[in-house]
Amino acid sequence: MHINTKKKYSVINIYAPNHYKEKEQCWATIKEALKEMQVGKIILGGDLNLVRSIEEKFGGTYHTDPSRDIKIMEQHNLIDILLSNRKYTLSNKRVGKSNIKERLDRILIQENIAAVHSSIKSKNLHTIASDHKPVTIVMGKMENQGSLCWVWSMIIILI
């Protein structure tokens, strides 16, 4: 619930699998869950294990991922909130030609949530132990009505 506006949202935190078949099943489950949720109140984020375009990858080989063809964003009016402080959320922490960086973690919100909040920012937090950087989102109104902040954890599902 937003602290000042008292608006309630369905927040889904995802840790999607790497394997294509498992990822396909994961997205099918998410699509079914989204059908049952209240339209206009969905925030979905976490480690989606999905590089949506070649611009979201540095180093290594860019593979075709069937999950990219899932029309979940269009079907549910989800907007991909770009990171304000860096481009990639995962690094294999190697140097030189072996270095690979990707944007696998992201936050998607429904368009009408974006219309209500005049200020929406997403950024990565620093991490030492993981190769992923946690993603945060801060949503607020310019009328000084407070803000909402979620820190995404890849192992906790918040609804």
Sequence-distant (6+) residues with CB within 8 A of 60 are 100
Mean pLDDT computed over every residue of the chain: 78
Is 134 inside a domain boundary? yes
For 155, how many CA atoms within 13 A lie in the half-sphere containing its CB? 2
> pLDDT tens digit string along 44-58?
888 888 888 899 999
Residue 3 lies in a domain: no
Q: What is the CATH number of the domain that holds 61?
A: 3.60.10.10
Concatenate the DSSP letters of all residues of 25-88 into one string.
HHHHHHHHHHHHSPTT-EEEEEE-----SGGGEESS-----GGGG--HHHHTTEEEE-BSS-S-
Is 84 part of any domain?
A: yes
How many whole angstroms separate alpha carbon 104 and alpha carbon 49? 5
Alpha-carbon distance of 91 to 89, in angstroms, equals: 7
Cα-based distances in Å from 30 to 44, 47, 73, 85, 118: 10, 13, 11, 28, 28
Q: What's phi and psi for 148, nearest 5 deg?
A: -125, 135
Residue 139: closest CA among 72, 45, 49, 71: 45
Residue 31: pLDDT band (50, 70, 90) is confident
The string of pLDDT tens digits covering residues 107-159 is: 999 988 888 777 788 888 777 777 888 888 877 765 544 555 443 322 222 22
Domain membership of residue 40 (yes or no) is yes
Which residue segment(s) compose the domain that 129 sits in?
A: 10-151
**32 part of a folded domain:** yes
Residue 4 lies in a domain: no
If one counts the domains in the chain, the total is: 1
- On whether residue 104 sits in a domain, the answer given is yes
Choose among 35, 30, 38, 32: nearest CA to 112.
Answer: 38
pLDDT in tens, 67-89: 776 678 888 889 998 888 889 98
Q: Where does the pLDDT of residue 6 fall: very low under 50, low under 70, confident under 90, or very high at 90 and above?
A: low
Residue 2 lies in a domain: no
Residue 64 sits at φ, ψ, to 5 deg, of -75, 125
